[in-house]
């Protein structure tokens, strides 16, 4: 159906809420096309889009359609799965609570039990709730670190991880069979709360999660000696981290935590930041201000759904250094392995996991401790699958998993990235370096001196709308068919095409890859550097990952700049 027909169908729907109808009436032609030319689709972590009217926007009807697909999948699984039901949580964004209860209303119409949090809660707590309550699935209403006009919908499997490809594909198929989202029936929420088919949950799950969180920190005596009075500034960036992070820090013994109170308020507009993204140093402006005021050693920020964490550390000159996602991953991995080694608790079959676009520095660290590093596709569900495999086969003991996009998981009682856990571990690591008269910044430099200088940069190019989607396809095709012979005058030694599931060396010898198919290309160079290219699974973007190995920061920056310039020229 052409976008004009889709638009007219919405306009003709008599029961359309006034706020959506008003939006339709103000759309220009370009906006109409973008809002109706396609359906918002599931990617690596569900769906995410602009809030508003349209099939390519997120609204109550798109949420109903996605949930109807999930309900039909559960119906197929039988009565037991319907009784086990679905856990639902949401963040601080516009329409998040409304979308959460719309989902519950659709499920209830199918006789499916749901457990909905009473107010905003972090994504990792939703993952925990799925496992703790034994539900068949989970729904998280969030757009993660995106700006205020966005929201999203993520579906979790019964292991608490983001729904794996097999079930996600089946869910997508069910969703696609629904021609008319306006015809989806919903139950009366208040009536089903009374019947118990929709149960509202909250404090009891918080308490159980916080019990598990006690196991995250490795050295309580270190915290008692050096963490108790260590100055930490924390900001939840107007999101769900406020619900648990300061309680978890206090529980662990960190008594000198200062919270950016203006950002502890749940604010759908994220009024104090241009974007609530802890990857960006700009999001730390108020934290830095408070940090200077109180003399904080470390600044920590979590994104609105508290699955990602950003860190800034005090430097000798009094300024704060913003750490990359890879640097945070490296310093956590190094500390966990070293602390367990010193304590005599490092398992012989220790395992770590990371995405294929995350730094190889952590693989080198793992190797030095005799631990095995597993590389998986982007999407934390693939790390969750590895954890499940370890538990079923008893072949490895999971210690840590991460993605360069600021996502970390220490203890697997959660099966998604968990910023609350990461906050606790970063605080302990800061206390460790403090015990040695050092800072986290010194710790990063120690790692580089021991393992070599690894540096990374991610380029994210937004190409929205119909034309953008075609441009992204064209860029991926060009890289496959006309790939450069070198980057920064350094020869490509290996080309990995994760869509074709092939690895090709310089001589043209092809070996199969064992990962599931994914639209990712990765080029490894003679000097150990690499470049990866992939479309985003949840946003209209194509991403380029540059990772270099060098002997100094200056050399690394020069390599990254040269490769970035070549990529920019190549995609024009």
Helices (H) and strands (E) in the chain, counts: 20, 23
SS3 47: strand
CA separation for the pair 159, 380 (Å, rounded): 13
Cα-atom radius of gyration of the chain, to the nearest Å?
A: 24
SS3 52: coil
What are the residues whose beta carbons fall under 8 Å from the beta carbon of 447, sequence distance 6 or more? 330, 331, 334, 361, 365
> Which of 220, 229, 221 minimizes the C-alpha distance to 297?
229
Is 144 an active-site residue?
A: yes
Provide the CB-side half-sphere exposure for 568 (13 A, CA): 9
CA-to-CA separations, 488 to 82, 357, 525, 556, in angstroms, rounded: 56, 19, 10, 12
Using CA atoms of 98, 278, 546, 124 in order, give the dihedral in degrees to the nearest 10. -50
Cβ atoms 332, 422 nearer than 8 A:
yes
Catalytic residue among 144, 324, 358, 518: 144
Angle at 335 between CA 348 and CA 547, to 5 degrees: 95
Which two tokens mark 290? Answer: 């408070």
CA 554 to the chain's CA centroid? 30
Least Cα distance to 85 among 96, 75, 99 occurs for: 75
Residues labelled as active-site residues: 144
């Amino acid at each position: 159906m052409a976008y004009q027909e889709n638009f007219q169908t919405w306009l003709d729907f008599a029961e359309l809420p006034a706020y959506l109808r008003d939006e339709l009436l103000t759309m220009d032609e370009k906006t109409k096309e973008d809002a109706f030319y396609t359906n918002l689709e599931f990617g690596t972590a569900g769906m995410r889009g602009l809030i508003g009217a349209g099939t390519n926007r997120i609204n109550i009807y798109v949420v109903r359609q996605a949930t109807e697909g999930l309900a039909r999948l559960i119906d197929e699984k039988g009565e037991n799965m319907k009784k086990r039901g679905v856990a639902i949580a949401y963040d601080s964004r516009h329409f998040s609570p409304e979308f959460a209860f719309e989902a519950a209303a659709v499920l209830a119409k199918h006789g499916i039990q749901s457990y909905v949090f009473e107010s905003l809660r972090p994504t990792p707590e939703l993952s925990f709730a799925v496992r703790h309550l034994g539900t068949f699935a989970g729904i998280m209403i969030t757009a993660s670190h995106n700006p205020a006009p966005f929201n999203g919908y993520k579906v979790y499997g019964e292991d608490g991880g983001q729904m794996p490809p097999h079930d996600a594909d089946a869910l997508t198929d069910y969703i696609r069979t629904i021609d008319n989202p306006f015809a989806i029936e919903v139950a009366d929420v208040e009536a089903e709360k009374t019947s118990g088919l929709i149960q509202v949950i909250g404090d009891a799950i918080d308490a159980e999660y916080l019990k598990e969180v006690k196991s995250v920190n490795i050295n309580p005596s270190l915290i008692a000696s050096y963490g108790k009075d260590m100055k930490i500034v924390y900001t939840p960036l107007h999101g769900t981290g406020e619900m648990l992070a300061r309680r978890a820090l206090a529980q662990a013994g960190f008594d000198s935590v200062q919270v950016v109170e203006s950002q502890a308020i749940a604010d759908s507009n994220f009024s104090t930041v241009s974007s609530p993204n802890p990857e960006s140093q700009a999001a730390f402006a108020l934290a830095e201000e408070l940090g200077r005021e109180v003399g904080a050693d470390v600044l920590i920020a979590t994104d609105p759904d508290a699955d990602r964490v950003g860190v800034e550390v005090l430097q000798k000159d009094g300024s704060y250094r913003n750490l990359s996602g890879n640097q945070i991953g490296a310093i956590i991995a190094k500390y966990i392995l070293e602390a367990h080694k010193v304590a005599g608790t490092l398992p012989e079959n220790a395992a770590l996991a990371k995405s294929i676009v995350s730094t190889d520095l952590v693989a080198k660290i793992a190797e030095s401790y005799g631990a095995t590093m597993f590389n998986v596709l982007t999407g934390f569900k693939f790390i969750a699958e590895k954890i499940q495999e370890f538990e079923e086969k008893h072949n490895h003991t999971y210690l840590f998993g991460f993605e360069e996009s600021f996502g970390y998981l220490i203890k697997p009682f959660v099966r998604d990235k968990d910023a609350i856990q990461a906050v606790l571990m970063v605080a302990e690591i800061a206390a460790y370096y403090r015990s040695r008269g050092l800072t986290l910044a010194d710790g990063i430099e120690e790692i580089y001196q021991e393992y070599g200088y690894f540096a990374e940069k991610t380029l994210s190019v937004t190409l929205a709308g119909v034309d953008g989607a075609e441009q992204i396809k064209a860029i991926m095709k060009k890289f496959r068919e006309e790939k450069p012979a070198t980057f920064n005058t350094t020869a490509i030694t290996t080309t990995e095409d994760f869509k074709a599931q092939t690895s090709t060396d310089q001589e043209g010898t092809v070996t199969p890859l064992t990962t599931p198919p994914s639209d990712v290309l990765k080029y490894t160079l003679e000097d150990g550097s690499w470049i990866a290219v992939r479309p985003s699974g949840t946003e209209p973007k194509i991403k380029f990952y540059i990772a270099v190995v060098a002997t100094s920061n200056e050399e690394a920056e020069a390599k990254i700049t040269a490769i970035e310039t070549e990529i920019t020229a190549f995609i024009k």
